[in-house]
A and B are shown apart, each in its own frame.
Chain A
Amino acid sequence: MDTNTVQQVTLEDTPRIKRKSSYKQPWMLHFMVLPAVVFVFIFSYVPMSGIVMAFQDYKAALGISGSPWVGLKHFRYMFENEYFLQITWNTLFFACTKILMNLIIPFIFALLLNEVRNTGLKRSIQTLVYLPHFLSWVILAGILIDLLAQTGLVNQMLTHLFGIKPIFFLGDGTWFRFTIIFSDVWKEFGFNTIVFLAALAGINPALYEAAEVDGASRLKQTFHITIPSLVSIIVVVGTLALGNVLNANFDQVFNLYTPLIYKQGDIIDTFVYRQGLLSGQFSFATAVSLFKSMISLTLIVISYRLAYKIAGYRIF
């Protein structure tokens, strides 16, 4: 910003350059944003107007303009529906546990990785743990389905090593929850360490040197320099995650769940998909998804405000 104003001043102070000729009229800039504006209008704003369906009994033959209005009928039905409360709880449970785990585990991993002096080893570890992040949930679900099957490798090992009877990891509600959390950590913990490693690299080395002179052990340095220096980044990451408390990860659950464990494994997004696209209840599904969007929107706005207030974080 500062260099920018300096430039502006020198430009205005130079009499020989006519400003009109160097900074052309902005019509060209409008023209450059135009394609993006058009695509966003069609594929984001037009669907936004489609949420009025939540207040109608949408019939494909009648369209949005012809379908009868029913007010808050779908919302009333939603809140009286016990199953809806159950999946909201499931969603919250999954999302919050994942947020917490994906904050704590990457943080500890980053701290430990920071102690690895051998650069080659450090790089290799990073390469291996970042990889699952880039594989899709289809691939990972395929691996998990095979691995966690009754006769899969995990159950085989459990039987051989500990004599445990095979566990239905994907067929038993409680184990399903465990699998969801665990596999999410597997996919994301490595990638989530990046932001902490970046913050670790930014700590002023003079602090450590001073502690060294005072004879502090590495453990003491960790507790009195490293962790306090990372508090602000933890707060930012944690606050921004607030907007995700209703995002339990559709792709993951969709590819791993079965009707057997709907009670403990179904989430809002998969419910919307089944109600809307499989059962054709467009209006009810839209109402459920609107409810979710409204809460998420509120939380995102609050979380960004908080992140800005606490740590001065801005996206642009």
Chain B
Amino acid sequence: MYHKALSYRVFTVFNNVLLTTTAIACLLPLFHLLMVSFSSTAPANSGLVTFWPIGFTLEAYAKTFNNANFLSSLWVSVQRTVIGTALAMFVNAIAAYALAKDTRIFRARNIYLWYFVVTMLFTGGLIPNYILILKLGLMDTLMALILPGLVTVYNVILLLNFFRTVPKDLEESAFIDGAGYFRSFISIYLPISLPALATIALFTMVGHWNAYFDGLIYIKESKNLPLASFMQTIIVQADMTKFDPVMVANMSPRTIRASQIFIGALPILAVYPFLQRFFVKGVIIGAVKE
């Protein structure tokens, strides 16, 4: 019994300490920045804050929420996340339902599947995509942020693999009662696949919330900029022009940036417990299928 061996017990203690330390170390940088965001200007600027706020204040957050540019960006991000996810789920799920059918029933299935998979292997690249959005007149619109990534082939494949595990008897009895494919999709497949759909919806939402690059290249007006792109200009490019200069006159750019980081991360941290419950399953479906 190796559990009782002294060497294994020593190892266990050492191992637990090592892993716990590593895990905490992973989040210490975030925690440090959170403390900076709660600190007042002088200690933050002179780098006195470590893992506890000095001169506790919520001023940086108050300033951020009073910034009109921030609020309009927040609204753009909410819109793209909600509309984008809803549209994507519908289009991807309904396609996955049809593609989950056997070749004997849906003879064109494999052709469609290859049609989609090719786009996973090869893409036009940045420039042709940019020119396409320009030519379609989608520049500076919400649709430029939603439509290009609407169909995620990887998610279609995850869903179709899931749909194939649904017992066929359920659908057959519905057919006998006179239901069509669409009815079967809505009344049988959607309710039964709710956990899988929820997982993919959450991942899509996180993707929309975090996406910043499309906003940087497709959106010119600052009021149409999604929050992630807005924050990229402040956090990374250190561009403070999007704040009213009078308002941030005696603020530390450091605390402002730190507060932006947390406001941006907050929705992700809020859905994280739900994500975590699902994603392990999702990854396993994708990685070691059948």
Say if the beta carbon of B97 comes within 8 Å of chain A: yes
Residues of chain A lying within 8 A (CB to CB) of residue B30: 143
Which of A23-31, A85-93, A94-102 lies at the binding interface?
A: A23-31
Chain A binding surface, main DSSP class: helix
- Is A51 a contact partner of B125 (Cβ separation < 8 A)? yes
- Is A50 a contact partner of B47 (Cβ separation < 8 A)? no
- Is A121 a contact partner of B16 (Cβ separation < 8 A)? yes
- The total of chain B residues at the interface (CB under 8 A) is 105
How far apart are A71's CB and chain B's nearest CB, in angstroms? 19
Say if the beta carbon of B112 comes within 8 Å of chain A: yes
Which of B52-60, B67-75, B227-235 lies at the binding interface?
A: B227-235
- Is A285 a contact partner of B126 (Cβ separation < 8 A)? yes
Which of B78-86, B178-186, B193-201, B241-249 lies at the binding interface?
A: B178-186
- Is B12 a contact partner of A43 (Cβ separation < 8 A)? no
Binary A-proximity of B159-188 (CB < 8 A = 1, otherwise 0): 011000000110010011000111001000
Given the known inter-chain contacts A43-B148, A50-B128, A125-B20, please indicate yes or no for A35 contacting B91, CB distance below 8 A. yes
Give the A-B contact count at a CB cut-off of 8 A. Answer: 279
- Is B128 a contact partner of A117 (Cβ separation < 8 A)? no
Binary B-proximity of A285-297 (CB < 8 A = 1, otherwise 0): 1100110110001
User: Complex formed: what's the CA distance from A272 to B126 in Å?
Assistant: 8
- Is A131 a contact partner of B272 (Cβ separation < 8 A)? yes
User: Complex formed: what's the CA distance from A233 to B22 in Å?
Assistant: 25
Given the known inter-chain contacts A51-B124, A139-B264, A151-B47, please indicate yes or no for A36 contacting B20, CB distance below 8 A. no
Given the known inter-chain contacts A29-B106, A272-B126, A293-B123, please indicate yes or no for A138 contacting B228, CB distance below 8 A. yes
- Is A47 a contact partner of B95 (Cβ separation < 8 A)? no
Residues of chain B lying within 8 A (CB to CB) of residue A255: 232, 236
Which residues of A line the B interface, CB within 8 A?
3-4, 7-8, 11, 17, 21-24, 26, 28-30, 32-33, 35-37, 39-40, 42-51, 53, 109, 112-113, 115-118, 121, 124-132, 134-136, 138-139, 141-147, 151-153, 156, 186, 190, 194-195, 198-199, 202, 212, 216-218, 221, 233, 250-251, 254-255, 269, 272-273, 276-277, 282, 285-286, 289-290, 292-293, 297, 300-301, 314-316
* 9 pairs from A and B in contact (CB 8 Å cutoff): A32-B182, A36-B95, A136-B212, A139-B235, A139-B265, A152-B47, A194-B279, A255-B236, A293-B122
Which residues of B line the A interface, CB within 8 A?
1-2, 5, 7-8, 11-12, 15-16, 18-20, 22-24, 26-27, 29-30, 32-33, 36, 47, 50, 91-92, 94-95, 97-99, 101-102, 104-108, 112-113, 115-116, 119, 121-132, 147-151, 153, 156-157, 160-161, 168-169, 172, 175-176, 180-182, 185, 206, 209-213, 217, 228, 231-232, 235-236, 254, 257-258, 260-261, 264-265, 268-269, 272, 275-276, 279-280, 283-284, 287-289
